[in-house]
Amino acid sequence: MEPIQALQKYFGYDRFRHQQEAIIQNVLAGRDVIVLMPTGGGKSLCYQLPAMLLDGLTIVISPLIALMKDQVDSLNVNGIPAAFLNSSQSEDEQAAITQKLRNNQIKLLYLAPERLFRSGSTLIGFLKSLPVCLVAIDEAHCISHWGHDFRPEYLMLSGLKKEFPQIPVIALTATADKLTRKDILEKLNLSDPAEFVSSFNRANITYRVIPKKNSINQLLEFLNERKEDSGIIYCLSRNSTGELAADLKAEGYSAAAYHAGMEQAEKAKNQEAFLRDEIKIIVATIAFGMGINKSNVRYVVHADLPKNIEGYYQETGRAGRDGLPSDALLLYSYSDASKLQRFAKVEGNEEQSAIMLKKLDDMVKYAQLKTCRRQYLMQYFDETFPAGCGSCDVCLSEVKKFDGTLIAQKALSAVARLKESFGNTYIIDFLRGSKREKIREEHKQLRTFGVGADIHRADWFRYIRELVAQGYLQVTDDAFPVLKLTNKSDAVLKGLQKVELIASQTMEERRPEAPPFETALLNELKMIRRDIAANENVPAYIVLSDAALVEMATYLPQTLDELRLVSGFGDVKLARYGREFLIPVKSYCVKNGLSSRIHQKRYALKQQLKTKQPTTKLRSSDTRAESFSMYRSGKSVQEIAAARGMVATTIEGHLSYFIQTGEMDVLELVEQEKIPAIKDAVESYGHEKLSPLKEVLGDNYSYGEIRAVISWMNRRA
Ligand code: ADP
Ligand code: ZN
């Protein structure tokens, strides 16, 4: 079987991520391999899939019982025979597993390193009698003093190559730095390993920092929009985890605390409840997280400043392992920074203190950044990365407000002076002191004439629109709309009312569009998943990822064959749960008069396959033509965008090209009435930049329409 077929059959995925395919090829070829991939990148698959293709047993070394259990549950749910041996099991359980190993009924065996190499252990002798074909070392950075979770027992793994000289080893970690990597290679004694280093960028995580003022209110505001989501809130002190969890509970959230000082049983209970979605929010110290594979953590909040970027990145990385959009929020205060500074000083160890302080300083710099946060993070980990990621708060330049009272007064008094009988263009030209003949001579004599010359024309249009939106001005709905004062205007003119305006233009447009899934259906599917998970006694995300549910609620599969195309449905899951999930999808469709949209997924898949091979990569002219031909076949821009996995504005861009060539009529994309206004704006502002045009034209005009008209104005005669 080819790896790609095994990927579909056992895991239900249609393509490899990152460098998975190349890694797997190397493992199958019997080479030692070291893999550096960010959390959620899909490291496990790099040994789990070869384990299914190779003859014999794969041994997986893993540091934590919780981690082993999670992985084994996931594999079993996919019908893959896997087991672990650890101290939590009874003699009988262990004997049963040993028997299965003898009978070659297990493909993957999870072990802690001390289990394997403990002196006097007979396990290693037993394993040598089995057909072992691969050893995987998960969390390989635990072998290094440089890493942040050094585990002395991992040092025992240096004996691995002696005991199993012929068996290939794959070592995996999400810790990127060079020192740790070198350490891993040396200590494991790998022979000429193939190294795979993925980008550590987590594209689906949006990074935000807000100044900490009243943290509980700020948190509540953040959580209010995420009521259905799972998240982790990190605090610095044990006490504050308990307090915050209690506060959140009092506000009606399902939250629990977690820190190293709690009773073992209570910790386990809270963690388990979080994994099973019975508790949505865990409020924890950084003791929580290692070994948490929960894939549907939608946000990670740092309520206090972390000590360094390494820890911060690791912790935020626990969000969005399933690849769906997720959030990282940091509440920053200067007093946190100075508190940590005091802690960072290690008595009698100047060198150590200096390193810790430098790391803290880098963390503070991050919090105060005025440039792209993602770029800073990537550069911190020695990766070059362009600025302008489009999904950090700086890039999204979230609406910044400023005191616009003076501006408002100028605008309102202009409206008053001109006797409330002119439209916004005239008012603005008047404010800017335009030399145009259009402005009447008598108006040029007024004192208000030209008082707003320092403000850009496009900005004036925006401010006026905001003043209208805030009710300080109104627009008549005549054929020639006129600006008038309102009953709120007077207070502003008299200086009794402050007015806030939005400072820089926002880039909200660039925020990735949310997939058009059916929300009600998604909630139903989540309930079904929860019931199945409870029956099988595993966390919900092990039954199916959120991503799989979202796909179902998007593409609305009607048959098992269609469901097979949904990410995460391998052969076994399809047979086990397929029917159960199809029932609500079908009845939802009947109730709402919807039908399957699985063709969109099929189409997207075909595109992905096409773009995957570099030789057949679509040239820009081809990709335009593709959109155009889909449009001609009757699909809407939205449908094409969904099918091609692109955003609508990209498709509109493609189509505009054909307006310019004359193959498409502008009226296909823009209503006739809208054309004169766009044309007007283009003629006064030029067409180099779209955003000022959009500003001037307002919400009724889309980027797509503006671009279409520009193309039409530039069309080849
Ligand atoms: P890591 O160990 O690198 O943090 P995991 O191995 O836990 O990441 O994988 C993260 C998630 O991504 C899991 O839910 C996994 O099933 C999923 N995944 C892995 N590879 C793929 C793939 N090729 N396509 C879709 N999902 C994948
Ligand atoms: Zn950015």
* Residue 39, ligand 1, Cβ within 6 A: yes
Query: In angstroms, rounded to a whole number, what is the distance separating the alpha carbons of residues 421 and 419?
Result: 5
Q: Which of 110-114, 294-298, 709-713 has the lowest mean pLDDT?
A: 709-713
Mean of pLDDT values over 162-190: 88
Q: Report whether pLDDT(246) > 80.
A: yes
pLDDT mean over 71-94: 93
The protein residue whose alpha carbon is closest to atom 21 in ligand 1 is 42
| Phi and psi at residue 665, to the nearest 5° | -90, 140
Q: Is 37 in the pocket of ligand 1 (CB under 6 A)?
A: yes
CATH number of the domain located at residue range(s) 519-596 in this protein: 1.10.150.80
Ligand 1 mean position, distance from CA 173 (Å): 14
Least confident of 115-129, 565-579, 589-603, 611-625: 611-625
| Region 468-487 average pLDDT | 87
Mutate to test the pocket of ligand 1, among 9, 13, 52 (most ligand atoms within 8 A of CB): 13
Q: Is the CB of 375 under 6 A from ligand 1?
A: no
Average pLDDT over residues 20-40: 93
In three-state form (DSSP H/G/I as H, E/B as E, the rest C), the secondary structure along 614-646 is HHHCCCHHHHHHHHHHHHHCCCCHHHHHHHHCC
Confidence of residue 352 (pLDDT cuts 50, 70, 90): confident
Higher pLDDT, 400 or 703: 703
CA distance 4 to 13: 9
Looking at residue 490, its pLDDT comes to 94
Average confidence score pLDDT of the chain: 87
Whether 51 and 108 have beta carbons less than 8 Å apart is answered as: yes
Residue ranges matching CATH 1.10.10.10 in the chain: 405-498
Q: Which pLDDT score, from 0 to 100, does residue 513 have?
A: 40
Positions of CATH 1.10.150.80 in the chain: 519-596
The pLDDT, as a whole number, for residue 501 is: 84
Q: Which residue has the higher pLDDT, 93 or 292?
A: 93
Number of the ligand closest to the Cα of 14: 1
Average pLDDT over residues 623-632: 81
The second-level CATH assignment, the architecture, of 605-716 is Orthogonal Bundle (1.10)
Is residue 576 classed exposed, middle or buried when 0-12, 13-18 and 19+ CB atoms within 10 A define those classes?
middle
According to the model, what pLDDT value does residue 244 have? 95
pLDDT-based confidence at 506, cuts 50/70/90?
very low
For ligand 1, is residue 3 a contact (CB within 6 Å)? no
**Ligand 1 atom index nearest CA of 545:** 14
Q: Where in the chain is the domain with CATH 3.40.50.300?
A: 3-197, 205-344+360-394
pLDDT digits (tens, 9 = 90+) for 540-558: 999 999 989 999 999 999 9
Tens of pLDDT, residues 310-349: 889 989 999 998 888 899 999 999 889 988 988 877 777 8
Sort strands 483-485 and 473-475 into parallel, antiparallel or unpaired: antiparallel
CA 640 to ligand 1 center in whole angstroms: 28
Tokens (6 digits) for 134: 């691969």
Which CATH fold would you assign to the domain 405-498?
A: Arc Repressor Mutant, subunit A (1.10.10)
Ligand 1 atom closest to residue 15's alpha carbon, by position in its atom list:
23
Residue 511 pLDDT exceeds 50: no
User: What are the residues whose beta carbon lies below 5 Å from ligand 2 (ion)?
Assistant: 372, 374, 389, 392, 395
Predicted confidence at residue 620, as pLDDT, reads 56
Flag whether pLDDT at 12 surpasses 70.
yes
**Ligand 1 pocket, residue 366 CB under 6 Å:** no
From 7, 8, 17, 601, give the residue whose CB has the most ligand 1 atoms within 8 Å, as the site to mutate: 17
What is the predicted pLDDT for the residue at 613?
39
Closest CA to 48 of 38, 35, 58: 58
What is the share, in percent, of the chain residues with pLDDT greater than 90? Answer: 49
Q: Determine the pLDDT at residue 565.
A: 93
Band of residue 660 on the pLDDT scale cut at 50, 70, 90: confident
pLDDT at residue number 633: 75
Rounded to the nearest angstrom, the distance between the alpha carbon of 372 and the centre of ligand 2 is 4
Is the pLDDT at 136 greater than 80? The verdict is yes
pLDDT at 248 over 90: yes
| Residue of the CA atom closest to atom 18 of ligand 1 | 42
Question: Does residue 321 line the site of ligand 1, with CB under 6 A?
Answer: yes
Write the residue with the smallest CA distance to atom 9 of ligand 1.
42
pLDDT digits (tens, 9 = 90+) for 407-462: 999 999 999 999 999 988 899 999 998 877 788 888 988 889 999 988 888 788 88
Where residue 621 falls among pLDDT bands split at 50, 70, 90?
A: low
- Is 541 near ligand 1, meaning CB less than 6 Å away? no
Confidence check: pLDDT of 514 > 80: no
Is residue 503's pLDDT more than 70? no
For the stretch 235-238, contacts whose Cβ atoms lie closer than 8 Å and that sit 24 or more positions apart, written own/partner, are 235/283, 235/284, 235/285, 235/303, 235/304, 236/285, 236/304, 236/305, 236/336, 237/285, 237/304, 238/285
Architecture of domain 3-197: 3-Layer(aba) Sandwich (3.40)
pLDDT at 628 over 80: yes
> Domain 205-344+360-394 has what CATH class?
alpha beta
pLDDT at position 100 is: 97
Give the residue whose CA is nearest to atom 24 of ligand 1.
13
Query: Residue 515: pLDDT above 60?
Result: no
pLDDT value, residue 715: 76
* Ligand 1 and 296: CB distance under 6 A: no
Nearest protein CA to atom 19 of ligand 1, as residue:
42
CA 388 / ligand 2 centre spacing (Å): 5
Q: What average pLDDT does the segment 567-592 reach?
A: 94
